[in-house]
Structure 1
Amino acid sequence: MSKIGLHWFRYGLRLHDNPPLLKAIKTCSKVIPLYILDTDYFKPDKVGINRIGFLLDTLKALDSDLRAKGSRLFVAQGNPNEVIRNLIQEHKVELLSFERDTEPYNKHMDNNIIETAKSLNVETFPLWGHTMFDPEYLLEMSNGKAPLTMTSFLTLMSETGDPPKPLDPPESMPSPIDNLKCKDVFVYEGIPTLSDLKGFNFDPKDYTTWFVAGEKEAIKKMTEFLAQKHRVSTFEKPKTLPTALQPDTTALSPYITRGSLSSRLFYHSLKDTLKGMQSSKPPVSLKGQLYWREMAYLIGFSVPNFNQMEGNPICKQIPWLTGEEAKSLLEKWEMGQTGYPAVDAVMNQLRTEGWMHHLARHLVACYLTRGDLWVTWELGRDVFDKHLVDADWSINNFSWHWLSCSAFFHQYFRCYSPVAFFKKTDPNGNYIKKHVPILAKFPDKYIYEPWTAPKGIQTACGCIIGKDYPKPMVDHKFVSKENMDRMKKAYDAGKAKAKNSGEPPAKKLKQNKLGKYAKK
């Protein structure tokens, strides 16, 4: 008897290592491959053009791969639970497969969809595939609590061993139904372009990321990187260059985040590459980067209110600026108008390319929060989430906890200098000249502090500071010390509260090599 299945592509936008898709293929004679643009999740004011443009290109590549296997991708828009309910009823679907997720919003969505399918007597296969391990298994292995330090997480990894090996892609796909039309579901005719998107008003010319999307491109980039065996074996992430004009890391994060590349495939391909070789060790090695990702996902999966300060049991309670004052400062930071060329270059790269080096992210996150502007990390997190092509809920929240010294890293007296930090790797300011082109003619001597250049030099360079390019918003040397005092008071208040309530003191975290990159 023929059975119609619906496979909801969620994060695993690929054919390789896709457990729920393979389950549907093995069980059904017809499979509807579906992606849903969630109108509650993708909102015009929350998602930037590079992020959603890269997603649409990823869907286009997935559709091409499916067509080569005898199928195609359908793209609907709406609330996933409602879309799936209506399609199940309209097309008499008997099996639903999809990839489970760790984010609170999507965990709730998973439960609703499972209940919906159950109420309609539909067999359901919600399986894990976006992480290396099943997070519920890791929690069970760690007595119900996520490790909060890399040292303890590495201990957990030593007990679990390698993650499961990735699954091969299917040789062919069952044919889809001819038409997915449904009275109460909006389905695009094909894969939507930026101009097609319902409810958005993007100008395609503003889509400027250089990343090429899709599973084939992801595997190609991974293979090319792993072929550089010396580079792979000696890789230490803190030693890569934040000011490189071309990526000095793998630049695979957009592909892993958007699901074009399985983290398990990367892990096992890396393991095969390093077989018999001496190599760097976690947490700074390439394997260590996968462990950081897995740890962030496990924490985001299990810690209540991980995306905010209030009600978050592992987050320091710090009186950050919020409200209109914070938003005014945030806008200048987001638009690359702080007056510090290094910070502005990073933020301009973020908006135009949808990506920047992890240490560049550290610099601008520190500047916004504890370093200079004292703005809440939640607002900065939202800006990253809007623009990054590798926007990732768990990693983004984890990183902003770290850089604001709200959790994980507590040496708040280590503060990135918006003047000195990039000089170590780019003394001539080539990165600034690329991403803040109005400063391109300034002599190297003044490129990091253009306000110190004599007026005659500013005139000759065609850029008057305070008119054509802003003066610094704050005096870093002064406000960074002032903010350290604020941090100390917040930490002391937290300790006093914990003492009065009888809570155990927070454990000191063992610092990794990232700490040495921060300078007063």
Structure 2
Amino acid sequence: MPTVVHWFRLDLRLHDNLALRNAINEAENRKHILRPVYFLNPDNIHNIGSNRLRFLIQSLQDLDANLRKLNTRLYIIKGTAINCLPKLFQKWQVKFLTVQVDIDPGLVEQDEAIEKIAEENDIFIVKRVQHTVYDVHSVLKKNNGSVPLTYQKFLSLVQDMQVKETIDINKQISECCRAEDYNSEEYDVPTLEEIGVDVSTLSECKYPGGETEALKRLNVYMSRKQWVCKFEKPNSSPNSIEPSTTVLSPYISHGCLSSKLFYHKLKEVESGMLHTQPPVSLLGQLMWREFYYTAGAGTENFDRMVGNKICTQIPWGENTEHLKAWAEGRTGYPFVDAIMR
């Protein structure tokens, strides 16, 4: 039977996942197989810190468990999307692919290549903006294609932009949409031990990964209305034993928590109450994230100096003798030399 694929990336959740809902609806309407996939590249996995890797594996395990409640599952594909997707297109007779929009230059280039392959195979692709509150390209368009260079300019651009309500997916998927390989261990989420992590070296896990924990933490903090309304980033305590912030950042960055849902919850708490304002408020912290995503999307070579039009071009010198002297503690500055020794 033909297959509908939802490609999970930074949207490891069921709530506010329009691309996933599109995939489910397409599979249901056409009586196709539904296969939600995630690509785990063994070659890059050891470049990730062990704690972050634990968070990712926990998030994937939680996502798989939540998908199984809907009568489907998560298919872990070992390898890169650019290498594996074309093969899966043929193997699974893929007719429909859904995925979130991403702005990372490497992923944009990869997506263009995959879209070309999909077009050649008559595969329809649906892409949804769901990693940010706003569509960054719409913000840039509103600014005549230019990057807003200040935080206040960004806020002025988005102040009248509507943020759509979030959605939840809790519908049981028909039996006909389950594949014969539903119970195949080949596609299971690997354990940390299976990918070579020595779990005995890991510290206590205070913040488990996954959508379930993300929503739990969100609800706990949003119930503290006075705390939310009085939050000021400069007055948080980075040295406190317990964190003085929400610690929701890793959940949002991995997509376990929708930034739009966070936005709506904050607006709901602030409604009718005195509260701090951006940039120091909790909502202001979320808007900083949006600001930098917009700047990154609209600036070529945003992650480097050379070729970055909004970055001061500093003529750094290259003097191997000076570098060697610095490395050996022979700069002529006693304090610097003492540090290097």
For the residue of structure 1 that corresponds to 2:339, the secondary structure is coil
Q: Distance in 1 between the 2:180 and 2:294 partners?
A: 40
Name 1:271's counterpart in structure 2: 267
- Alignment check: 8 A CA contact 2:73 2:182 kept: no
Q: Secondary structure at the match of 1:94?
A: strand
Alignment of 1:44-443 (within 5 A): 44=46, 46-160=47-161, 162-174=162-174, 175-179=177-181, 188-197=186-195, 201-208=196-203, 209-318=205-314, 319=316
Q: Secondary structure at 2:238's aligned position in 1?
A: coil
Mark the CA change 1:127 to 1:244 in structure 2 (over 3 Å): closer, same or farther: same
Q: Check 1:207–1:109 CA distance in 2 against 1; reply closer, same or farther (3 A cut).
A: farther
The CA deviation string for residues 71-103 of structure 1, in whole angstroms up to 9 with x for no partner, is 111101212022111111001111111112111
What is the Cα deviation at residue 181 of structure 1? 11
Q: Which amino acid aligns with 1:88?
A: F
Structure 1 residues 180 and 88: CA distance shift in structure 2, 3 A: farther
Against the structure 1 CA distance between its residues 157 and 325, is the aligned structure 2 distance closer, same or farther, given a 3 Å change threshold?
Answer: farther
Q: CA deviation at 1:325?
A: 9.6
- Assess if the C-alpha contact under 8 Å between 1:100 and 1:110 holds in 2: no
Deviation at 1:301, TM superposition (A): 1.2
CA shift for structure 1 position 39: 5.4
Provide, for residues 430-479 of structure 1, a one-character-per-residue CA deviation record: whole Å limited to 9, x for no partner. Answer: xxxxxxxxxxxxxxxxxxxxxxxxxxxxxxxxxxxxxxxxx9838xxxxx
Q: Deviations over 1:465-513 (max 9, x none)?
A: xxxxxx9838xxxxxxxxxxxxxxxxxxxxxxxxxxxxxxxxxxxxxxx
Offset of residue 142 of structure 1: 1.2
1:309-355: CA deviation from partner (whole Å, max 9, x where unpaired): 222122233438999998xx99xxxxxxxxxxxxxxxxxxxxxxxxx
Partner Cα separation in structure 1 for residue 89 and residue 170 of structure 2:
24
Report if aligned partners of 2:72, 2:182 keep a CA contact under 8 Å in 1.
no
Q: Distance in 1 between matches of 2:269 and 2:39?
A: 36
After superposition, the CA RMSD in angstroms is: 2.8
Partners of 2:207 and 2:319 lie apart in 1 by 34
Distance in 1, matches of 2:131 and 2:125, equals: 18
Gaps (5+ residues) in structure 2? 328-334
Give the residue type in structure 2 aligned to 1:33. Answer: P
What is the alpha-carbon distance in structure 1 between the residues aligned to residue 100 and residue 20 of structure 2? 9
Q: Distance in 1 between matches of 2:180 and 2:318?
A: 54
* Partner in structure 2 of residue 473 of structure 1: 339
* Identity fraction in percent: 34
Q: Could you tell me which residue of structure 2 aligns to residue 33 of structure 1?
A: 36
Quote the Cα distance in structure 2 between the aligned partners of 1:132 and 1:324.
49
Report the residue type matching 2:298 in the other structure: S
C-alpha distance in 2 between matches for 1:58 and 1:76? 16
Give the direction of change, closer, same or farther, for the CA distance of 1:314–1:39 in structure 2 (3 Å limit): farther
Shift of 1:106: 0.7
Distance in 2 between the 1:80 and 1:324 partners?
44
Structure having the higher Rg: 1
How many residues are matched?
Answer: 324
Q: Which amino acid letter does the alignment assign opposite residue 19 of structure 2?
A: P
Amino acid in the other structure paired with 1:241: S
Q: Which has the higher contact order (CA 8 A, sep 6+)?
A: 2
Instruction: Tell me, in whole angstroms, the C-alpha distance in 2 between the residues paired with 1:271 and 1:172.
Output: 31
Contact 1:66/1:173 (<8 A) preserved = no
What whole-Å deviation, never above 9, does each CA across 1:7-61 have from its counterpart, x for those lacking one? Answer: 1111100001001101011111321010001457x352x3211112211110000
Counterpart code for 1:205: S
